Amino acid sequence: MTASANAASYFVDRHSTERPDKIAFREAAGKKRSLKYGQLASDSNQIAGALTRAGIARESRIAMLVLDQIEFPQIYWGALKAGVIPVPLNTLLGADVYDSILRDSRASALFVSVELWPVVKQAALASPDVQHIVVIGGDAPEGTIGLSDFLAGADPQETLSCSADEVAFWLYSSGSTGQPKGVRHVHGALRATAETYGSQVLNLDEQDVVYSVAKLFFAYGMGNAMSMPMAVGATSVLFNGRPTPEGVLDILEAEKPTVFCGVPTLYAATLAQLEMVTKPNAPLRCCISAGEALPKDIGRKWHALWGIDILDGVGSTEMLHIFLSNRADDVVYGTSGIAVPGYQLRLVNEDGAEVAQGEIGELLVSGESAAEGYWNQRDKSRETFEGKWTRTGDKYERDQQGRYIYCGRTDDMFKVSGIWLSPFEVEQALISHPSVLEAAVVSARDSADLEKPKAFIVLKHGVASPELADELKAFVKDKIGKWKYPRWIEFAEDLPKTATGKIQRFKLREGA
Ligand code: 3SK
């Protein structure tokens, strides 16, 4: 019999003989539990057995509304072992979205952290498909069963053999524009990301301790904090709370990670916090950023403070993880770097033809980790997955050295006086002003119904004033060009963002 390509064989079972006593996961909060590789292998067998006993058949979906805690990997890998498809859900959504995802996925079971039960309760109890509601932690509320009772007495089940092309898990992507789509990923995709970005860009090894602010339900977090460290037998630090700059600094001090995976917003806020408190003592060797392009100034300030760079990279739920990135020995802030080994990139115009160096085009990517398609959304699948190429919806140009420079989302770009304007370029200019913490730029219409840039700004400290708005407009004019300055400036407490910190410009556009 050929070796099984079930991802659980590679990520879990292999370690139960090679390093059973090595800690795979360590919780940074609450009871601060840890989970060894050997224990994870047997716990996931137990979950697989319990799923089968409950009549949850191969290829059925189970929804996971689970915080970053050790039950997440136990349930996820247990499902893969049984051929059941886990669908980790964003833990920050509202009741209506859970309702539509449970209906869309037709999940036959829901695993939910007790803290999250109130928000999903109505949707779960009303779902025609959900047959089992398994609650993690606390007392099981009426109509649910606790995880330990669900598992009690089940016969452990070994990893089922399957091909690398079999669907392993789904992730719901709402992208930056709204409507969630079920993105179907195959078993082979997890290993593809670990063997490309994980080992060839991050250079992860068994000694590493990884801390990711992006949660496990999100593709970026799942790779950073679960599959990539597990591929090399490293340790991942899990934190079940909301990431804040204070919390990040505490975890860096207490857990001593060697690899930190952040997002630009949190890097910016952590740098602002570090203006007021002492830098923690942490053995960081590598910091990465994704979710949205990292403003130059943030990278430079971080480097000045820590002596190491932030590797800015680009990934997507559809590609599972990062496929375009800076490298430790070649960081140029303000660029997204070059293709990660194993991926190919193209920049194309509206007719699908390659653009020349220096011209802006949409980024297309090809690589082993691409999703199989969206669940039950044929038109959207066809628009995004074109043969071996996946459309990213991001606009880029290439500099003379072949590095990719982010220009904005396809639908965020607009023309001012007939010239393309990249909102991102204006935002970068605004962020480099000492009073600005975050900025988002969208198109708005002036009294002549012409498109012009409008900025939403979060200030670092202090109070907004009409003089500051004028100062910022002049600052942008001087820095990047007279026609690019924001004609209107609105000061805000915060900006609407996705779970990974991508600014939802469509929400600001609606308001503008
Ligand atoms: O959203 C992103 O930018 C991202 C980055 C890395 C991996 C996965 C995703 C979705």
Residue pair 147/135 in contact by the 8 Å Cβ criterion: yes
Q: State which of 153, 186, 219 marks the end of a domain.
A: 186
Same domain, 247 and 328: yes
Substitution candidate for ligand 1 out of 90, 261, 321 with most atoms within 8 A of CB: 321
pLDDT of residue 3: 63
Given a cut of 60, whether residue 140 has pLDDT beyond it is yes
Q: Report the distance separating Cα 16 and Cα 39, nearest Å.
A: 8
| Ligand 1 center from residue 14 Cα (angstroms) | 27
Substitution candidate for ligand 1 out of 196, 213, 317, 394 with most atoms within 8 A of CB: 317
The mean pLDDT value for 28-44 works out to: 97
pLDDT of residue 146: 98
Same domain, 246 and 294: yes
Q: Report the distance separating Cα 326 and Cα 336, nearest Å.
A: 6
- Of the candidates 306, 294, 305, the residue with the CA atom closest to the CA atom of residue 333: 294
Task: Report the DSSP pairing between strands 389-398 and 361-366.
Answer: antiparallel
- Is position 229 within any domain? yes
Given a cut of 60, whether residue 361 has pLDDT beyond it is yes
Same domain, 271 and 341: yes
How many other C-beta atoms are found inside a 10 Å radius of the C-beta of residue 426? 25
User: How high does pLDDT run on average in the chain?
Assistant: 93
| Residue 53, both tokens | 């006993």
- What is the tens place of the pLDDT at every residue in 98-110? 999 999 999 999 9
pLDDT of residue 337: 98
Cβ(193) to ligand 1 under 6 A?
no
Cβ(317) to ligand 1 under 6 A?
yes
* pLDDT > 90: percent of the chain: 81
Cβ(365) to ligand 1 under 6 A?
no
- What is the tens place of the pLDDT at every residue in 161-191? 999 999 999 999 875 445 789 999 999 999 9
pLDDT of residue 356: 95
Q: Report the distance separating Cα 403 and Cα 337, nearest Å.
A: 5
* Ligand 1: residue whose CA is nearest its atom 9: 316
- Of the candidates 465, 484, 481, 468, the residue with the CA atom closest to the CA atom of residue 433: 468
pLDDT of residue 194: 98
The mean pLDDT value for 463-475 works out to: 88
CATH label of the domain that carries residue 129: 3.40.50.980
- Of the candidates 259, 260, 365, 386, the residue with the CA atom closest to the CA atom of residue 322: 365
* Ligand 1: residue whose CA is nearest its atom 8: 220
Same domain, 243 and 297: yes
| Ligand 1 center from residue 482 Cα (angstroms) | 33
Atom of ligand 1 nearest to the CA of 218: 10
The pLDDT-based confidence of 363 (bands split at 50, 70, 90) is very high
Same domain, 32 and 68: yes
- What is the tens place of the pLDDT at every residue in 244-259? 999 999 999 999 999 9
| Residue 283, both tokens | 């053995």
pLDDT of residue 125: 97
Substitution candidate for ligand 1 out of 173, 197, 218, 390 with most atoms within 8 A of CB: 218
| Ligand 1 center from residue 118 Cα (angstroms) | 28
Same domain, 153 and 289: no
Same domain, 492 and 462: yes
| Ligand 1 center from residue 220 Cα (angstroms) | 5
Given a cut of 80, whether residue 499 has pLDDT beyond it is no
pLDDT of residue 94: 84
Cβ(403) to ligand 1 under 6 A?
no
Substitution candidate for ligand 1 out of 202, 217, 314 with most atoms within 8 A of CB: 314
Residue pair 69/238 in contact by the 8 Å Cβ criterion: yes
pLDDT of residue 178: 55
- What is the tens place of the pLDDT at every residue in 280-308? 999 999 999 998 889 898 999 999 999 99
Cβ(316) to ligand 1 under 6 A?
yes
- Is position 3 within any domain? no
Name the residue range of residue 165's domain. Answer: 9-186
Atom of ligand 1 nearest to the CA of 223: 7
Atom of ligand 1 nearest to the CA of 321: 7
CATH label of the domain that carries residue 455: 3.30.300.30
Q: Between these two residues, 462 and 415, which has the higher pLDDT value?
A: 415
Q: Write the single-letter amino acid at 7.
A: A
The mean pLDDT value for 489-506 works out to: 85
Question: Which residue, chain included where needed, has tokens 């990062």?
Answer: 322
What total number of domains does the chain contain? Answer: 3
The pLDDT-based confidence of 411 (bands split at 50, 70, 90) is confident
* Ligand 1: residue whose CA is nearest its atom 3: 291
pLDDT of residue 92: 86
pLDDT of residue 89: 96
ipTM > 0.85 (yes/no): yes
Q: What angle do CA 375, 379, 383 make, to 5 degrees?
A: 105
Return all residues near 80 (Cβ < 8 A) that are at least 6 apart: 6, 7, 8, 86, 159, 168, 169, 187
Same domain, 390 and 447: no
Q: State which of 186, 209, 235 marks the end of a domain.
A: 186
| Residue 475, both tokens | 């600052």
CATH label of the domain that carries residue 271: 3.40.50.12780
The pLDDT-based confidence of 2 (bands split at 50, 70, 90) is very low
- Is position 2 within any domain? no
Same domain, 181 and 196: no
* Ligand 1: residue whose CA is nearest its atom 6: 315
The pLDDT-based confidence of 512 (bands split at 50, 70, 90) is low
pLDDT of residue 417: 72
The mean pLDDT value for 451-463 works out to: 88
Given a cut of 60, whether residue 221 has pLDDT beyond it is yes
Same domain, 312 and 199: yes
pLDDT of residue 425: 86
The mean pLDDT value for 469-496 works out to: 91
- Is position 4 within any domain? no
What is the value of pTM for the model shown? 0.89
Same domain, 346 and 432: no
pLDDT of residue 450: 78
Which helix (H) or strand (E) segment holds residue 39: the answer is helix 37-53
pLDDT of residue 1: 40
- Phi–psi pair at 269, nearest 5 degrees: -70, -35
- Give the residue ranges of DSSP H helices in 214-329: 219-222, 228-232, 245-255, 264-274, 296-306
Compute the chain's Rg from CA coordinates: 23
Q: State which of 409, 433, 463 marks the end of a domain.
A: 409
- Is position 1 within any domain? no
| Residue 26, both tokens | 């360590």
- Is position 218 within any domain? yes
| Ligand 1 center from residue 214 Cα (angstroms) | 9
Same domain, 390 and 439: no
